[in-house]
Chain A
Amino acid sequence: MPLRRLSVVMIAAVTLVAAIGASLALGAVSIPLRDVIDALTGNLDPGPFKQIVTELRLPRTVDAILVGASLGVAGALLQGALGNPLASPDVIGVTGGAGFGAVLILLVFPGSIALLPVGALVFGLAAAAIVFAVAWSGESRGGIGKLILAGIGVQAFFFAATTATMVIYSDRVQSAVFWLAGGLVSEGWTNTEAVWPYFAVGLIAAAALMRPLDRLALGDDVAASLGARPRLIRLIACATAAVLASAAASLVGLLSFLGLVTPHLVRLAGGTPSHRYVVPVSALVGATILLVGDTLARVVAAPVELPVGPFMVALGVPLFLWLLRKTV
């Protein structure tokens, strides 16, 4: 691997390790580092400190890594499959669907709050399914333009439904605003246990899609002449991205920025569009950005937790713009 690409991987990996340490060691309650290590290694007696480290901080750290990696990968898959640098989970309707599913539970069925991740996941996948059903039917089925237009339509429909629900239940809207802004919450392992299979399936499928996407990048005709089936690859890549983005939205709300910017950051910094590089490194960089952003969001105004979205934007956008200015 050329030095430039290796450097990007090393910097991202070291930053991720440091961010994991910070995420476990810092929070609203000051816990001595020794106790944090003892809690993680099982050497701390049961009590509040052990509970905070193992049942609040550790699951949240794992969630941040899973979600950040998934959104980075989802963005890389979509941009590769659609050949469109503006592609992100928004394009296939996932964000709008997941947002509506969550708002439905938060505002209409607040007594069933435990179903929040399920609602977001189900509606996110349903929105993507509608987009695919429209895009893969009729004339020019599977065409990029048709897919994007179907995505814009479905996204608009679900955003309108979300807004209408918020207006109808305006007295409860505050609980939905925080979710829509995007952010992790300390809720133990339950939500992670419910959605980890989706992350696992999505990430494994993404690994299998790296070579086919590289062929697709040569153009549909060339890819077909190499034995690939461009429309099938596109469908599987988009479906994989939908699974990853829906699972991510079910845990953290709407953070589509990460899916859009992370693959560009990786391509610009690494200097290659190869999916065998961009997909795994997007996972690494996405996880790092989200974990650093979440730790800052927890610590800056502690004990009040701020939404992670603005912190991620503050971290990612300057770096992105700097790379854009230098490289393109």
Chain B
Amino acid sequence: MTPAPRFAARALACALAITATAAAATPATAKAPTRIVALTPFTANTLAHLGIKPVGIGQTLGGHDKLDPALKSVKTLPLSHPAGPNLEQLAALNPQLVLSTPTWQRGETAMRKLGMKVVDVEPRSLAEVAVDTKRIGALVGRTAQANRLATQIDRGIANAQKNIRKHPTVLLIIGVGRTPYAALENSWGGDVVKKAGGRLLTRGLRASGGFARISNETVVERDPDVIIAVPHGAAGDIPRLARYLKTNPAWKTTKAARNKRIYVSTGNSLLQAWTDAGRTISDVRRSFLKN
């Protein structure tokens, strides 16, 4: 054997030996967690679609009207500021994995100290829904199902955007009490309205969280064709807030008010991500944008 092939043979042998050693040292794939708490409707519904029943789900403002029926018997954990779930209740469920959101960041430190694995999963745009679905699938050991679900979600989003005929100007306003915040393009609701064909009148407004304080003067000055108002508060306050937003005298000179196109969305579909994103877009088109 000439020196070159001999060297190549030795190198190959070394490479095989290293590969074999590394393979022996690699632990078997970590067992997927079985005790999971999902703090958002998105993560809870995704788990349900993947055939997993979490041991606890977060109870957000606005109730559980859009949760998968398979989750009906799951224990709910009321969420409140600043930490999210009550840590005693959460610890009592003994979860291995908590699917959380940055909203509950304050409580996450304590959750981790209690030995729980905490992962933030909160799509802020329609494009992130499929990505985060796959991420959840990888976390819970259901990669193949998650990939199928992600494809289905993307298809639903694409179908919902077909044949858009009109592009009205829109302000999506979150009413925190009587204080209005505009949902920007970098918020879930803003992205949904944009993909549904609306043109958001939020130029110049910036906020890393996706919601910027907007004055009534600015609303009047921007004069949108459509105002979609989302009351945000305790469940008992929503009807009162909805009435206020619907008939807000400060907006009466806008095109939206004159043409009776101030709509109030009382569900949470424009506040946070949902697995049926395509349906959310279709609902916005049919109910608010009429396009």
Contact = CB atoms under 8 A, between A and B. Distances in A.
A175 B81 contact: yes
B81 A187 contact: no
A48 B114 CA distance: 10
A56 interface: yes
Contacts of A302: 86
Contacts of B212: 171
The B interface, classified by DSSP as helix, strand, loop or mixed, is mixed
Interface string A169-180: 011101101110
B91 A51 contact: yes
Nearest to B86: A303
Given A172-B209, A178-B81, A48 B92 contact: yes
Interface stretch (B14-22, B103-111, B155-163, B276-284): B103-111
Interface centre among B77, B114, B207, B211, by most A CB within 10 Å? B114
Contacts of A190: 109, 113
Contact of A303 (B88, B106, B114, B210): B88
B77 A303 contact: yes
B176 to A, nearest CB: 8
Interface in B114-132: 114-115
Interface string A277-291: 000000000000000
A29 interface: yes
Interface in A196-248: none
Contact of B213 (A29, A55, A171, A179): A171
A304 B109 contact: no
A56 B88 contact: yes
A171 B105 contact: no
A174 B88 contact: no
B209 A304 contact: no
A177 B115 CA distance: 28
B207 A304 contact: no
A28 to B, nearest CB: 4
B266 interface: no
Contacts of B102: 110
Interface string A113-132: 11010000000000000000
B87 A56 contact: yes
A185 B83 contact: yes
B149 to A, nearest CB: 30
B87 A186 contact: yes
Interface string B180-216: 0100000000000000000000000001011111000
Top 9 nearest A-B pairs (CB, nearest first) are A303-B86, A171-B209, A171-B211, A29-B88, A187-B110, A28-B88, A28-B86, A178-B82, A188-B113
5 contacts: A52-B88, A56-B91, A175-B81, A186-B88, A303-B88
Interface of B: 77-78, 80-83, 85-89, 91-94, 102, 105-106, 109-110, 113-115, 181, 207, 209-213
